[in-house]
Each structure stands twice: as structure tokens, then as C-alpha cells.
A and B are shown apart, each in its own frame.
Chain A
Amino acid sequence: MILAPPGRNNTTAAKLVSVIGKMLAFSCVALLANLRVSAADKNDAASKPMAISGEVRYHFRERIAHAKAGEKQFSAPATEREALPLSRLVGSDGQQAQVVEGRVAHLPSYRFAIKLSRDEGTHADKLEVNILDAAGKPLSGYPQTIANPFADASDQDGKEFEIPITKYRTQMIEKTLLAKDQHLTYVALVIKPSS
């Protein structure tokens, strides 16, 4: 017990000390609770793979009208883009994963299945990409599994995967998505961390 200086009322001093003590105790409890919540948040975030997004990019060039002989005859490459649905977090068998599934309008027979998962034991992330045809069969070269390409936060670029398409589909895309004199050159699936 803390004693009040001589000449003061001991009862009042004791009450004051008691109130201060309670306030200090309450503050400590609140602080500890806060620390526990933020540690739990950190653990939770550490156990989840980052959200991702996917889009299909249709690269094309256009013949430049009125280009003179000796000048560049085709435009710089450009893209049209179609986005896949945003990723959703799913968990099973001790694994948490960000999953993107869906289709895009100009590749109607293809289904995209993308998974960024984290193994709870090793904490290693891997990216699995699959593109399936109308019969549910993976396209040539798929599925692909690679280490998380977004592990280095300083690398802001996405990760691209070539999408093989038929001559017929190329013609359909040129007809329905591109303008006159524009030629499809390449189709890619681009996956990026979601902001």
C-alpha cells in the first residue's frame, strides 16, 4: 500500500491510488487485447494467399492506312481485354486458395480454372492454371503449375499464359471483336495480384 505524505487524508489518497490502479489495469488489458487481435489478423493474413485477378488479352496490329512506301505499315501492337470473375477464397484439406473460375465472351467454349494456393505446412504458394475446352479436356500444354510468380512484391507485372486458338476462332475474334484491317496476333491469359 502506498502511504500518503504526513498531514494528508490517508483515506482520500488510498481512493485516488485505487482509481489510478484500476485505470492502469484496464489500459493494460485493452492494450493486450489489441495486440492479440492484431497478431491474429497478421497470422490470418499470413495463412491466406493473396487475391488475384485474371483477364484474357487479345493482341492485335492494324494496317496503317495511307502509310507511304518505306514507312512502318502496321500499327504498334494493342490489346482488347476481357476480365474473368474476381478470385474467391476457398479452404479445404488444410489448404487455403484463391480461385478464379469462369469464361469470357470471345472464347465461349473455353473454361478457365486458376488457383493460387498456400500449403499450411510449408507455407509455399503455387499457381495452378488450367484451360478446358467444351468437352472439359485441358487444352494442349495445360494444366500448368508454377511457384507463386507474385511472391516478389516489387514485381508488379502479371504472369502471362499463351492461349492456343484455332484458325476459325481467330477469324471469329477478328470479325466480332476487332475492326477492319486489324489482325489478331496473339491471345494470352494474364494473371495479376488483385489490388
Chain B
Amino acid sequence: MPKIPLPQRNADGSYTTSPAGMEIDADGANGQTGGVPVYAPKGFTPTPLDFLANAGGPGNWFGVVTDTGEEDGTPVKQNASGPAPGAFVSATSYRWPKLARIDPLAYVDAASVPYIVLPSHWRQEAIGVVLGCKATVEDTKTGKILEAAGVLDFGPRTKLGEASVACAQFFGVPSSAKDGGTSEKRFIYTFFPGIPAVINGVEYQLQPM
């Protein structure tokens, strides 16, 4: 599987992808706005947004925050003061710097914040700071444009076209992390390194490598 090449830089310093599908990322959804968390131990109700297997398992928790920060640590569960007590803490690449690594509020709520997910190597290759930067999404099928999005998570090097649950909902795309998304190549993603994202009135901080 080849890496997705970084698109050519636009005159204004932004980058625009070729049309791509939209897979659904629910990472970071910790119930911050009263929604359902993405990962929780078996038996948790309501049913979490994604398969627990995508969080990992004993000895290999690659998809949730652990006490040690390593996969072989113990997954951190939200305590009674968390937005979804008992659920695991899920991370986005973006983290509010002043909040602790194990704080569920330190990450971006995929259920309420429209963000896009870029191949992780673009963070290194693009000119300017990518994490936390402004992004827009255009649906070439409907002409609908989302102006206020941001680059707040990274995906595999070989995949293009992924966005948060909230972003999918904006475009009316099935938004389940389990079985939603679309492989129809109708979305054009543009991101603006060096320009902070402002979403729902919140300004995100640019986070250099």
C-alpha cells in the first residue's frame, strides 16, 4: 500500500486533496457534550460508538489512553466527575495542552466537533503547522461546504478521506464509526497550515511537531 502523497501547495499556502470518500472517526468522543462515549468496557450502556476491538485489549490498548501512556498499560476509565463515568478515555492527536493526558476533556469530541483526519506523514511534509489548523470540506455532489473545520486527528499514511462523526452528520453521511461513512469520492478537503481552526466559537491552538 503506497503512502498518500501530499498535494501541491496552493498559492495561499493551503493544500487541497483530490476527491475522496469519508470514513468515520469517533476518537476523542468522551461524552464531552453529553453524547455517547466511543469506547467503554463491555456491558456499558448506552452502547459505545465504536467496536471495543478498535480500542485494543488487555496488554495492547492501542486505541485508548492508558495510565502509563504505553499500550501495555491499564486503560484509564473516567471517574465520577468525568462526562461519561466508567467509559474509557479516547484520544485525538489534538490535545488541549493545559489539561492532563488522562483527562477526558483534553481531547476533541468527535461527536460534536467537525474535524478532518489527514495521513499522519503530512504533518511532517506540509509547510506550516498542521495540527490544530483550519480546514474546509466541500461535497462535490451537493455543493455543500463546511467552512469551519480543523485538522485535529491523524490517520494511516495509506488512507485519504476521514472525518469526525459531527463532520459526517453535517453532510448527511451515515455517521456510525461501526458501519457508516461512504467510499464515494465526492469530498474535497482543504487545510490551511499555520492558521488556527475556529470551530463552534472555539479557537484551537496550532501544535507543531
Q: A residues touching B (Cβ–Cβ < 8 Å)?
A: 57, 59-66, 68-79, 81, 156-160, 162, 177-179, 182-183, 185-186, 188, 190, 192
Q: Residue B156 contacts which of A73, A75, A156, A158 (CB distance < 8 angstroms)?
A: A75
In the assembled complex, the CB of B96 is this many whole angstroms from the nearest CB of chain A, namely 13
Q: How far is the CA of A56 from the CA of B69 in the complex (A)?
A: 32
Q: How far is the CA of A59 from the CA of B156 in the complex (A)?
A: 11
Residue in B closest to A184 when the chains form the complex, CB atoms: B53
Q: How far is the CA of A62 from the CA of B119 in the complex (A)?
A: 10
In the assembled complex, the CB of A86 is this many whole angstroms from the nearest CB of chain B, namely 15
In the assembled complex, the CB of B97 is this many whole angstroms from the nearest CB of chain A, namely 10
Q: Is the CB of A62 within 8 A of B174?
A: no
Q: Residue A158 contacts which of B91, B93, B179 (CB distance < 8 angstroms)?
A: B179
Q: Is the CB of B54 within 8 A of A185?
A: yes
Q: List 11 A-B contacts (CB under 8 A).
A: A62-B120, A62-B157, A65-B121, A71-B95, A72-B92, A72-B154, A73-B69, A76-B155, A183-B62, A188-B179, A190-B179
Does any Cβ of A come within 8 Å of B109's Cβ? no
Q: How far is the CA of A192 from the CA of B157 in the complex (A)?
A: 28
Q: Is the CB of B179 within 8 A of A160?
A: yes
Q: Is the CB of A79 within 8 A of B101?
A: no
Does any Cβ of A come within 8 Å of B79's Cβ? no
Given contacts A77-B54, A78-B23, contact A157 B174 (CB under 8 A): yes
In the assembled complex, the CB of A81 is this many whole angstroms from the nearest CB of chain B, namely 6
Does any Cβ of A come within 8 Å of B56's Cβ? yes
Q: Cβ of B183: which chain A residues have Cβ within 8 Å of it?
A: 81
In the assembled complex, the CB of A23 is this many whole angstroms from the nearest CB of chain B, namely 45
Q: Cβ of B92: which chain A residues have Cβ within 8 Å of it?
A: 72, 76
Would you list the 8 A-B pairs with minimal beta carbon distance, nearest first?
A62-B156, A186-B53, A158-B179, A179-B1, A160-B179, A76-B25, A157-B176, A74-B62
Q: Is the CB of A75 within 8 A of B155?
A: yes
Q: How far is the CA of A162 from the CA of B179 in the complex (A)?
A: 11
Q: Cβ of A76: which chain B residues have Cβ within 8 Å of it?
A: 25, 27, 92, 117, 153-155, 162
18 new A-B contacts at CB < 8 Å, known A72-B154, A182-B1: A61-B156, A62-B158, A65-B120, A68-B209, A72-B93, A72-B153, A78-B162, A79-B181, A156-B172, A157-B178, A158-B180, A159-B179, A179-B158, A182-B156, A185-B51, A185-B54, A186-B53, A190-B179
Q: Residue B120 contacts which of A64, A178, A188 (CB distance < 8 angstroms)?
A: A64
Q: Is the CB of B51 within 8 A of A188?
A: yes
Does any Cβ of A come within 8 Å of B138's Cβ? no
Q: How far is the CA of A57 from the CA of B158 in the complex (A)?
A: 16
Q: How far is the CA of A72 from the CA of B108 in the complex (A)?
A: 13
In the assembled complex, the CB of A179 is this many whole angstroms from the nearest CB of chain B, namely 4
Residue in B closest to A60 when the chains form the complex, CB atoms: B156
Does any Cβ of A come within 8 Å of B103's Cβ? no
Does any Cβ of A come within 8 Å of B177's Cβ? yes
Q: Cβ of A73: which chain B residues have Cβ within 8 Å of it?
A: 62, 69, 71
In the assembled complex, the CB of A88 is this many whole angstroms from the nearest CB of chain B, namely 22
Q: Is the CB of B174 within 8 A of A69?
A: no
In the assembled complex, the CB of B121 is this many whole angstroms from the nearest CB of chain A, namely 7
Does any Cβ of A come within 8 Å of B33's Cβ? no
Q: Is the CB of A185 within 8 A of B179?
A: no
Residue in B closest to A79 when the chains form the complex, CB atoms: B23
Given contacts A74-B62, A77-B27, A185-B53, contact A179 B124 (CB under 8 A): no
In the assembled complex, the CB of A107 is this many whole angstroms from the nearest CB of chain B, namely 17
Does any Cβ of A come within 8 Å of B186's Cβ? no
Q: How far is the CA of A189 from the CA of B134 in the complex (A)?
A: 35
Q: Is the CB of A66 within 8 A of B124?
A: yes
